[in-house]
Amino acid sequence: MGSGRTGRSVAFALAAAALYALSTPFSKVLLADIAPNMMAALLYLGAGAGMTALSLADGVRVERGEARGRSLERADVPYVAAMVTLDVAAPLLLMAGLSLSSAESVSLLNNFEIVATALVARLAFGERVGARAAIGIGAISLACFLLSWDAGAWGFSAGSLLTLAACLCWGIENNCTNRLSDCDPVKVVVIKGWGSGAGALAVALCAGDALPTLVNAGLALLLGFVSYGLSIACYVRAQRDLGAARTSAFYAVNPFIGSALAFALFRTPLAPTFVLALVLMAVGTWLVAPRDPSASRPPA
């Protein structure tokens, strides 16, 4: 694989991270008026609707002049089903966790997705995890422990545990999506958006969640299109050349962007534990990231 093609794939992974980083702080703002389950549904429905519109208008190609990828086949059905199911559970868990925790902590805890993705990639699909990456995974895990521990209650906070559970779902889902990385990324996002959004909406309605105002619903749908739809399309395209674990490593900058945005919006004081966790996250992310960005994709 050429260095130019690899560089483009890395750029897609970083773009996915930057776009997704918008979701946590701005979702926290909207959660003041929208129930968590309904918020999760609107985010994915926004992704599905936005990407469907762009696909129909033929206004977006992930890389101009390049084929979009193969069509979905019958052998892909188990991965598609798992992808949609996990993408129903993950945002429900994340929005519930975000409603109970600060946006800064949830943004950083999102990095646990790296740990989950790498472990599943190793155990289920045989992707290599070297000693350096293993140390980085340990540092990220320790940071997640610090962010999740509630010293006052001598236990883990409910919001943090819900966020970590969401990351575990997404770690498994990332590896399922990686099996589809040579497919048209726009079609993959459309399926994820409509399927997962419909599932989350059914949960929200069964839970008795009230429908938001048109303005709030529109803002949530727009946020979903940008931070989930466009982000996932870039992520899937990056996985085509980089693999699940390596794409997740580059994508790991998103919690730091999200935390910075959250501090800018909410002006939350920096606790010493948060600062220590931030340092550990940064070190862990640096260790997990591959030294040679042009290295070939790990065997799947």
Per residue in 72-99, pLDDT (tens digit) is: 788 888 989 999 999 999 999 999 999 9
**94's tokens:** 């994340």
Helix axes 23-30, 214-224, angle to 10 degrees: 170
Confidence of residue 68 (pLDDT cuts 50, 70, 90): low
- Looking at the chain, the whole-number percentage of residues with pLDDT higher than 70 is 88
Q: Please determine, for residue 46, whether its predicted confidence score (pLDDT) is greater than 70.
A: yes
State residue 291's pLDDT score: 58
- Looking at per-residue confidence, does 8 or 204 come out higher? 204
Minimum mean pLDDT range among 195-199, 233-237, 256-260: 233-237
pLDDT of residue 151: 66
Determine the pLDDT at residue 58: 55
Note the pLDDT of residue 64.
Answer: 44
Q: Check: CB of residue 196 under 8 Å from CB of residue 51.
A: no
Residue 9 pLDDT: 84
Note the pLDDT tens digit of each residue in 137-162: 899 999 999 999 876 666 789 999 99
Mean pLDDT of the chain: 84
Is residue 232 over pLDDT 60?
yes
Cβ atoms of 172 and 55 within 8 Å: the answer is: no
Residue 183 confidence (pLDDT)? 81
Please list, in sequence order, all residues whose beta carbon lies within 8 angstroms of the beta carbon of residue 266, skipping any fewer than 6 positions away: 25, 28, 102, 103, 104
Task: Give the tokens for residue 193.
Answer: 């958006």
**Res 293: pLDDT:** 44
Where is pLDDT greater, at 239 or 295? 239
pLDDT of 104 above 60: yes
Smallest Cα–Cα separation from 288: which of 277, 276, 280, 299? 280
Which pLDDT band, with edges at 50, 70 and 90, does 180 fall under?
Answer: confident
Query: Each residue of 113-132: pLDDT tens digit?
Result: 888 988 888 887 777 778 88
Highest average pLDDT, of 40-44, 51-55, 187-191, 231-235, comes from 40-44
Place of tokens 């188990």: 78
